[in-house]
Structure 1
Amino acid sequence: MTENKADSKMRKRSSPMRKFWLLVAVIVLLAGGLCGAWYYGANRLEREIASLKQRLTDEGVAADCEGQEIRGFPFRLGVFCDTFFYADPVNGVTVSGNAIRSAAQLYRPGHVVSETDGPLKVSAPGLVPLLLDWEKLRSSVRVSMSGLRRTSLVAENISVSADDLGLVDLLGTMRGLQMHLLAGDENGNGEPQDLVASAAIDGWQIDDGGTGQIEPVDFSLLVTVRDGLALAVSGQDPLTVLRSQGGEADLAGIEFSTGDGGRLRASGPLQLGRNGKLSGELELDLDDPQKLVDYAASVFPPAREMLGNVASYLEAFSANTGGRTQVRGLKLTLRDNKVLLGFIELAELPRFY
């Protein structure tokens, strides 16, 4: 009887100890598994980067991430570079920049965020070499089993300059920039086909040498490109596809506004033909269109004469509200690059290709 009571007391004392050591064992196993998963992921990431570099080299493209390190242990996994460059001599494109820091949570590897230090040098055919700099630039990419879901870029206090043989000439600045690409509606197979693109520029200031003649403007865009995502991931040349079958887009809104109250907003369906000409129906809203003409003339003086007739046409469709000239719901027709207001041809756009 006495021995049974002693055994019972020993079991009661040892039960919490067993639970404690069991918990310790579980923690050790989880920590070991986490460490193993991180190092496996880091090794896999390094192999993928090396494979990508080799594929680019085989295509005649030079690309490197100097000072490359895989960091973030134990919960994050990311690539850090001191500098990077990309050079495609066949197409004449070169890009080089400073440090990149990227990371993804180990339990969410499909969501990658990154931060890049300026400046960025860009050279491409038909463009003067550009130097882009910023205060902050962050980006993110989110993918799923069906492919790309979203990619975003947000930057603050950007400057754009021409860099001609080391002689830097400021072209303009922006207080803020946002660009987003999203997978559109999914088809019956659960795979998105369309591409939704949005952009916003806050305080775009074209450099005027400090004269103050050109005011800052804001710009925004939201458009859905039919089968745009499917085309982007297909590896086909977009220009070849457009020339063979054309393209369609639904312009939800494109807006341009000046600091003194001028505003233009357009929306509607657009079609780009195989001949490189644009057709569609646009609905326009305008506030103080003369201020838009004034802005265009401050950037390009001959624009005043070119747009003067258009502004006079708009007077017939305007209303004065609170001292502001407003035009609402104006219908424009695009027919093979010709811009028509009713039966009046306002302008003709150049061919896209």
Structure 2
Amino acid sequence: MSEMLLTPRRRLWPVFVLPIVLLAAAAAWSGFWFYTAGRLDQSVDAWRAREAASGRAYDCGSRSVAGFPFRLEVRCKDASVALTSQAASPQQTPMIAKLGEILVVGQIYDPRLLIAEFAAPAVLAGPGQPPSLAVSWSVARASVVGLPGVPQRASIVFDDAAVDRLAGSAQTPLGRARHAELHGRLLDAMPPASRQLEAVLQLAGASLHDLHPLLAEPFDADVRAVLSGLQDFSPKPWPQRFRELQAAGGKVEISRARIQQGELVAVATGTLGLSPNGRLDGELQMTVAGIDKVVPALGIDKMLEQGVPQATLDRVAPGVRAKDVNSVLGALDRAIPGLGKAVRQNANAGVAVGINALGKDAVLEGRPARAFPLRFVDGAVFIGPLQVAQIPPLF
């Protein structure tokens, strides 16, 4: 009996410690999540404000924040983007892009990092107009680091991207890319007033239609460049940014540009700037293997056989008058019957020989190649004395 009275009573409070600690931790985590979710929402608002000041106004039909307890998600349904002041021509009407959904994901430990996913397709139209462009993709992601302050890094990636022009029920392809990536980051080595932007563009299986016959065939590209001359990082439309870059003597230093299209391989390095008219100026040192494959792709022989329409000639040899070319070929036929036909049939070989006479012998990736300068003079592109393209102004 006495032994039973001396037995110590068990303490019950330790049993409740663990549940209380767990409840406190859960409450603290919930508070931290909602606080971080609020910061993410502020970062998204700051990003939208920055984009709107740059001429790209984002809007949502409905917006929600979710992802508790380990993710932070801002979902924008029935999204639209109003694109204004993004082209050199002031007469261009604003465009409105509509897509089903934009999902922005933030890391709970770093709300300054935003990752966005875009749901396809997207359609673009002028205010009150039917859709004029359609864009589709299988995967589209973007990331931004540094918000709500000045973004330090940004990337965008597309898989199976397609851009089509719409005209009623007709759909015409404008561009394709099996894979496309664009990365940019601010370099820290320079003072803030003159920092540089490093950019990398990678394309696989890309093609561009209605620009140049060569670009209609699939090609791969890898371009690495550094942009200098950025005076500030306040949001603004692209034409205004380009105008300020030109005034500050901004340059694009291309450290490497490689393009491959079938057997044609070209690499380039050099510096490009902007003329007072907003057009490209500068020079690239080109090395090209398989340049003889370029001339047949232009279809010069077929053009000459059928006579040269000015509109067609403008696309492959801007500045050359079709009337002059056709009259010369006709005069050859009248002087010596068959001579004009011979010239037409051998046009590709003659042009290829002329191009090969430019520059000097080189070796590119183990293949014979030619090295020559590619000059940009107020938007006109020259290989030696031959003008091969005309680039529109950027502002």
Query: TM-score scaled by structure 2?
Result: 0.68
Alpha-carbon distance between aligned partners in 2 of 1:148 and 1:131, rounded to the nearest angstrom: 29
1:270 matched to 2:236: no
What secondary structure does 1:78 align onto?
Answer: strand
- For residues 159-185 of structure 1, give each alpha carbon's deviation from its aligned partner in whole angstroms, at most 9, with x where no partner exists: 211122353223342211111111123
Distance 1:231 1:273, change over 3 A: farther
Counterparts of 1:49 and 1:201, CA distance in 2: 29
Within-5 A mapping of 1:169-188: 169-188=172-191
**Comparing 306-315 and 163-172, the one that deviates more:** 306-315
Write the distance in 1 (CA, Å) between the matches of 2:47 and 2:188.
30
Alpha-carbon distance in 2 for matches of 1:44, 1:321: 52
Match of 1:39 among 34, 37, 47: 34
Q: Does 1:346 align with 2:386?
A: yes
Kept in 2, the 8 Å contact 1:246–1:273? The answer is no
Q: How many Å apart are 1:95 and its aligned residue?
A: 1.1
More deviation, 60-69/42-51: 42-51
Question: Counterpart amino acid of 2:95?
Answer: V
Partner of 1:254: 257
Aligned partners of 1:243 and 1:192: how far apart in 2?
Answer: 14
Return 5+ residue gaps in structure 2 as ranges. Answer: 86-92, 301-310, 319-347
Q: Which amino acid aligns with 2:121?
A: P
Instruction: Kindly provide the CA deviation profile for residues 72-127 of structure 1, in whole angstroms up to 9, marking residues without a partner as x.
Output: 111221211232012357851211111222211211111111211111112479xx
Contact preservation (8 Å) 2:60, 2:78: yes
Q: How far 1:156 moved relative to its partner?
A: 1.2
Contact 1:289–1:311, Cα closer than 8 Å, also in 2: no
Residue 224 of structure 1: CA displacement?
0.9
Cα deviation digits, residues 138-162 of structure 1 (max 9, x gap)? 2211116863121111111122111
The AA in structure 2 aligned to 1:326 is: A
Q: Indicate conservation of the 8 Å contact 2:185/2:199, yes or no.
A: yes
CA distance in 1, matches of 2:77, 2:253: 41
Greater shift, 25-34 or 72-81, is seen at 25-34
For residue 37 of structure 1, report the CA deviation from its aligned partner.
2.2
- Cα distance change, pair 240–81 in 1 and its aligned pair in 2 (3 A): same
- Give the distance between the partners of 2:218 and 2:50, measured in 1 at CA: 43
2:134 is aligned, of 128, 131, 135, to 131
Which 10-residue stretch deviates more, 214-223 or 69-78? 214-223
Structure 1 match to 2:334: none
User: What residue in structure 2 maps to residue 113 of structure 1?
Assistant: 115
| Residue among 241, 253, 268 paired with 1:238 | 241
Q: Which has the higher contact order (CA 8 A, sep 6+)?
A: 2
Whole-angstrom CA distance in 2 between matches of 1:62 and 1:336: 32
Change (3 A) 1:339 1:170: closer
Aligned pair in 2 of structure 1 residues 115, 292: CA closer, same or farther (>3 Å)? same
**Alpha-carbon separation, structure 1, partners of 2:281 and 2:48:** 42
Distance 1:67 1:214 in 2: 40
CA distance in 2, matches of 1:103, 1:14: 47
**Residue 165 of structure 1 aligns with which residue?**
168
Q: By how many angstroms is 1:223 displaced? A: 1.4
Unaligned runs of 5+ in 1: none
CA RMSD, Structure 1 to Structure 2 (Å): 4.4
Q: Distance in 2 between matches of 1:83 and 1:201?
A: 29
CA distance in 1, matches of 2:40, 2:366: 61
Question: Structure 1 residues 309 and 98 mapped into 2: Cα distance closer, same or farther (>3 Å)?
Answer: same
Alpha-carbon distance in structure 1 between the residues aligned to 2:273 and 2:247: 14
Q: Match of 2:200?
A: 198
Query: Following TM superposition, by how much is the alpha carbon of 1:332 offset from its aligned partner in structure 2, in angstroms?
Result: 4.7
Q: Offset at 1:215?
A: 3.6
- Tell me how far apart the structure 2 counterparts of residues 248 and 280 of structure 1 sit (CA, whole Å): 9
User: Deviations along 1:223-270, whole A, 9 cap, x unmatched?
Assistant: 111144x544354731441453342111112222212x1022211122
CA contact (8 A) 1:258 1:295 kept: no
Distance in 1 (alpha carbons) for counterparts of 2:222 and 2:52:
38
Secondary structure of the residue aligned to 1:37 is: helix
Change (3 A) 1:285 1:78: same
Query: Does the C-alpha gap of structure 1 residues 227 and 234 become closer, same or farther in structure 2, counting only changes over 3 Å?
Result: farther
**Cα distance 1:241–1:206, how it changes in 2: closer, same or farther (>3 A)?**
closer
The answer as to 2:369 corresponding to 1:326 is: yes
Question: Is the 8 Å Cα contact of residues 263 and 292 (structure 1) preserved in structure 2?
Answer: no
Say if 2:159 is the partner of 1:156. Answer: yes
Of 30, 33, 37, which residue of structure 1 is paired with 2:25? 30
